[in-house]
């Protein structure tokens, strides 16, 4: 059976020593009073909830899955899920970072980020039920009418109701311009929706009183393609004027997908059979409104893989210290035993350190991004808000794709540490691999994220957003350039920063002549950019660790941090050279291959 310890020490290091969040909060009136003690106390309780309430339900949820009653269209979730959700609501956890105006606790997003990392480590399938509500909340908060906000936000905040995002249809996934669900205006200002959605996460369940579906659909006179999509809020149960629940709205689950992982989450086929909803935002501008939810969800998906990377690492590490097989190449280490623990073998260490480095780099990036969200929402200075907003937009596809791809590598490596036992269910390792796999696919596949990064976010604005991140790297290089102890961490990012600038210009130029060049380079490009970002955070973590050591702190945590950073720069970061080389090989070897694919 796997185990899980909330990584509170690493979270506190990042929050208080690397990102120095309390200093940042002092500039934001909403968070000026949020100090380190408050954050630490909240995270400790959050960790207990994850480790003690939802983690014990993870394997049962995977084995049991969800079941649909075709007669009533109700979905039963695995044993214990509903009770754990009631406890989550009772504890006020859904409200942690929501607006006090709607009953929220108003704590920073970065604290909520840590809560959700731990929940994802503990049980990704369960966490998706409350997780999607945050995106629905954000979309309604940004684009809803006062009436919609008043109706839905307090209930999403308390967790009494949960949210979904209904985009995908059988013939339309990546290309939302193809969607067919119809919305007809009614004389009372509401809309009648008809259509079929598939793959809707947390699409039906009895864990909450009501489900708030955010649905993309087309108005009768809508232009074709993505310019003719509108967003609607369609509740499972109608809401009366006094807030009480009314009649069942005909938006029904007609089937559940049988899938590779996240079995405890209900992935629903949804028939919308004349359900009544209201328009969110302007007609035909639904994609822009939905993007608020999609961006939140993309950061959330990165966080899912971060959680799985961490829990897989913890279990592989414990196993590698315990399992004895063969002797160390450099002579016996556990002489009192018949063989050495497998952690003595270089490649086992490589697998463990790969997962550890991907967890620590991912955590730094996720926290940095949620701090940016805090600034974008609550900093009094408009320029700071805008800057934070642009930076988080640039980094979102990297969070989504780089952290989930790394999660795939890491969970597989951790399973491999167990040898054949990793393939056997009782150890729980194969579930981490299976559960992680979807993270590379949904919320826009990782290929689509790479096109978003390179095509839209980098080339689309002539590299302006990328230069913003480059400035952060440049400032760190400038600050630490003369510090010999930092050279091993600073030199690689200084070199890669220059290389990425040239690489970007080169692809941009080739892309002008042939757009397939951008498509052919994008996935490699995102990984190179991801390593620059992780490299920057490993350098900042090394800087904080060296400072603590120089100040006389003997906590082995800091030595461990430096060793992990060294491993990262020596064994993972150099992948960038191969990636740039394969990207430079261009599109011809892909596109001139009709004969090969015939
Ligand atoms: C378990 C699960 C949960 C999900 N939850 C939700 C949910 O809650 N709400 C929701 O609306 N949807 C949900 N989805 C749907 C998910 O977001 C889509 O599956 C995903 O966006 C991909 O769409 P598709 O499956 O139709 O693949 P397609 O769009 O058909 O893509 C097939 C392949 O072609 C590639 N491709 C497509 N276009 C391009 C391009 N322009 N350039 C390069 N490659 C391209 C893709 O990357 C992919 O590899 C879920 C899916 C699953 C499996």
Cα–Cα distance, 378 to 376 (Å, whole number): 6
1 versus 219: the higher-pLDDT residue is 219
Cβ-based neighbours of 138, under 8 Å, separated by 6 or more:
292, 293, 296
User: Of the residues 66, 173, 286, which should be mutated to test ligand 1's pocket, given the most ligand atoms within 8 Å of the CB?
Assistant: 173
Cβ-based neighbours of 467, under 8 Å, separated by 6 or more:
none
What is residue 481's predicted lDDT score, i.e. its pLDDT?
Answer: 86
Q: Is the pTM of this model over 0.95?
A: yes
Residues 230, 183: contact at Cβ < 8 Å?
yes
**Mean pLDDT confidence for 572-586:** 98
Give me ligand 1 centre to Cα 199, in Å: 10
Neighbours of 283 (CB within 10 A): 16
Cα–Cα distance, 161 to 236 (Å, whole number): 10
Give me ligand 1 centre to Cα 168, in Å: 8
Cα–Cα distance, 62 to 87 (Å, whole number): 21
Neighbours of 207 (CB within 10 A): 22
**pLDDT digit string, tens, across residues 466-487:** 999 999 999 999 999 899 999 9
* One-character DSSP codes across 350-391: HHHHHHHHHHHHHHHHHHHHHHHHHHHHH-S-HHHHHHHHHH
Cβ-based neighbours of 206, under 8 Å, separated by 6 or more:
74, 75, 76, 77, 82
Question: Helix, strand or coil for residue 205?
Answer: coil
Which two structure tokens, joined as six digits, stand for 65?
């899955």
Question: Helix, strand or coil for residue 91?
Answer: coil
In 3D, which of 104, 147, 127, 128 has the Cα closest to residue 233? 147
Q: Which residues pair with 542 in a beta bridge?
A: none
Cβ-based neighbours of 523, under 8 Å, separated by 6 or more:
446, 447, 450
Q: Which residues pair with 211 in a beta bridge?
A: 162
Question: Helix, strand or coil for residue 117?
Answer: helix
506 counts as catalytic: no
HSE-up (13 A, CA, CB side) for residue 236? 21
- What percent of the chain has pLDDT above 70? 100
pLDDT band at 293 (very low <50, low <70, confident <90, very high): confident
**C-alpha dihedral sign at 71, 72, 73, 79:** negative
CA separation, residue 59 to residues 62, 98, 314, 495 (Å): 5, 31, 17, 45
Q: Are strands 210-217 and 161-166 parallel, antiparallel or unpaired?
A: parallel
**pLDDT digit string, tens, across residues 186-218:** 999 999 999 999 999 999 999 999 999 999 999
| Residue 447 near ligand 1, beta carbon < 6 Å | yes
**pLDDT digit string, tens, across residues 57-101:** 999 999 999 999 999 999 999 999 999 999 999 999 999 999 999
| Residue 267 near ligand 1, beta carbon < 6 Å | yes
- Phi-psi bin for 274: left (phi > 0), alpha (psi -120 to 50), beta? left
Cα–Cα distance, 158 to 148 (Å, whole number): 16
Cβ-based neighbours of 294, under 8 Å, separated by 6 or more:
135, 165, 443, 444
* Residue with CA closest to ligand 1 atom 44: 447
| Residue 529 near ligand 1, beta carbon < 6 Å | no
**pLDDT digit string, tens, across residues 430-454:** 999 999 999 999 999 999 999 999 9
- The DSSP secondary-structure symbol of 179 reads -
Q: Which residues pair with 161 in a beta bridge?
A: 210
User: Of the residues 196, 256, 445, which should be mutated to test ligand 1's pocket, given the most ligand atoms within 8 Å of the CB?
Assistant: 445
Neighbours of 92 (CB within 10 A): 14
Which two structure tokens, joined as six digits, stand for 442?
């949904």
Cβ-based neighbours of 303, under 8 Å, separated by 6 or more:
113, 116, 117, 120, 366, 403
| Residue 129 near ligand 1, beta carbon < 6 Å | no
* Residue with CA closest to ligand 1 atom 37: 174
- Alpha carbon of residue 47 to chain centroid: 18
* Residue with CA closest to ligand 1 atom 20: 442
CA separation, residue 444 to residues 173, 308, 401 (Å): 8, 20, 9
> Distance between terminal CA atoms of the chain?
48
Cα–Cα distance, 182 to 219 (Å, whole number): 6
**Mean pLDDT confidence for 329-346:** 97
- The DSSP secondary-structure symbol of 555 reads -
Cα–Cα distance, 103 to 149 (Å, whole number): 12
- 29-38 long-range CB contacts below 8 Å, 24 or more apart? 29/378, 29/380, 30/106, 30/378, 31/107, 31/108, 31/374, 31/378, 34/107, 34/108, 34/111, 36/12
**pLDDT digit string, tens, across residues 354-410:** 999 999 999 999 999 999 999 999 999 999 999 999 999 999 999 999 999 999 999
Give me ligand 1 centre to Cα 440, in Å: 10
Q: Which ligand 1 atom is at minimum distance from the Cα of 443?
A: 17
Please tell me which residue in 390, 443, 480, 517 is annotated as part of the active site: 443
**pLDDT digit string, tens, across residues 323-333:** 999 999 999 99
Residues 461, 397: contact at Cβ < 8 Å?
no
Residues 46, 115: contact at Cβ < 8 Å?
yes
Average pLDDT value for the chain: 97
What is residue 355's predicted lDDT score, i.e. its pLDDT?
Answer: 99
Residues 14, 131: contact at Cβ < 8 Å?
no
Neighbours of 511 (CB within 10 A): 20
**pLDDT digit string, tens, across residues 500-531:** 999 999 999 999 999 999 999 999 999 999 99
């Amino acid at each position: 059976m796997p185990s899980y310890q909330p990584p509170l020490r690493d979270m506190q290091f990042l929050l208080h020593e690397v990102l120095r969040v309390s200093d940042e909060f002092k500039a934001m009136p909403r968070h000026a009073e949020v100090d380190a003690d408050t954050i630490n106390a909240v995270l400790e309780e959050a960790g207990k909830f994850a480790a003690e309430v939802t983690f014990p339900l993870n394997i049962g949820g995977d084995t049991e899955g969800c079941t649909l009653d075709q007669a009533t269209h109700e979905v039963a979730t695995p044993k214990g899920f509903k009770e754990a959700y009631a406890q989550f609501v009772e504890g006020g956890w859904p409200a942690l970072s929501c607006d006090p105006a709607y009953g929220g606790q108003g704590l920073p997003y970065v604290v909520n980020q840590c809560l959700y990392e731990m929940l994802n480590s503990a049980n990704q399938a369960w966490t998706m039920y409350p997780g999607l509500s945050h995106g629905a909340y954000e979309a309604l908060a940004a684009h809803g009418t006062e009436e919609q906000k008043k109706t839905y936000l307090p209930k999403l905040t308390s967790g009494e109701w949960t949210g979904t995002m209904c985009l995908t249809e059988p013939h339309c996934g990546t290309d939302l311009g193809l969607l067919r669900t119809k919305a007809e205006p009614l004389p009372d200002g509401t809309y009648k929706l008809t259509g079929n959605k598939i793959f809707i996460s947390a699409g039906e369940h009895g864990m909450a009183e009501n489900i708030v579906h955010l649905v993309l659909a087309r108005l009768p006179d809508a232009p074709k393609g993505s310019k003719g999509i509108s967003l609607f809020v369609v509740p499972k149960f109608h809401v009366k004027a006094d807030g009480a629940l009314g009649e069942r709205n005909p938006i029904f689950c007609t089937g559940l997908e049988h899938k590779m992982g996240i079995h405890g989450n209900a992935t629903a086929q949804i028939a919308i059979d004349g359900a009544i909803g209201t328009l969110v935002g302007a007609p035909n501008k639904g994609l822009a409104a939905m993007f608020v939810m999609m961006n939140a969800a993309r950061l959330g998906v990165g966080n899912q893989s971060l959680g799985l990377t961490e829990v897989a690492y913890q279990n592989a590490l414990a196993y590698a210290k315990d399992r004895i097989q063969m002797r160390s190449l450099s002579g016996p280490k556990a002489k009192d035993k018949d063989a050495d623990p497998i952690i003595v073998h270089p490649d086992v260490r490589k697998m463990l350190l790969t997962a550890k480095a991907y967890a620590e780099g991912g955590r730094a990036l996720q926290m940095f991004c949620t701090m940016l969200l805090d600034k974008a929402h609550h900093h009094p200075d408009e320029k700071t808000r805008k800057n934070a907003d642009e930076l988080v937009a640039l980094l979102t596809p990297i969070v989504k794709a780089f952290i989930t791809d790394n999660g795939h590598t890491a969970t597989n490596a951790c399973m491999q540490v167990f040898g054949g036992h990793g393939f056997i269910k009782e150890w729980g390792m194969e579930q981490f691999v299976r559960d992680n796999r979807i993270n590379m696919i949904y919320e826009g596949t990782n290929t689509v994220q790479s096109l978003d990064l390179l095509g839209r976010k980098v080339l689309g604005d002539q590299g302006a957003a990328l230069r913003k991140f480059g400035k952060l790297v440049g400032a760190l290089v400038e600050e630490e350039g003369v510090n010999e102890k930092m050279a091993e961490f600073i030199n690689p990012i200084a070199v890669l920063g220059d290389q990425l600038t040239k690489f970007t210009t080169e692809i941009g130029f080739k892309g002008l002549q042939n757009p397939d060049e951008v498509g052919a380079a994008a996935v490699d490009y995102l990984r190179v950019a991801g390593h620059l970002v992780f490299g920057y955070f490993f350098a900042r973590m090394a800087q904080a660790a060296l400072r603590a050591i120089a100040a006389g702190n003997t906590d082995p945590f800091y030595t461990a941090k430096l060793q992990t950073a060294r491993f990262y720069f020596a064994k993972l970061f150099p992948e960038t050279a191969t990636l740039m080389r394969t990207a430079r090989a261009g599109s011809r070897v892909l596109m001139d291959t009709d004969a090969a694919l015939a």
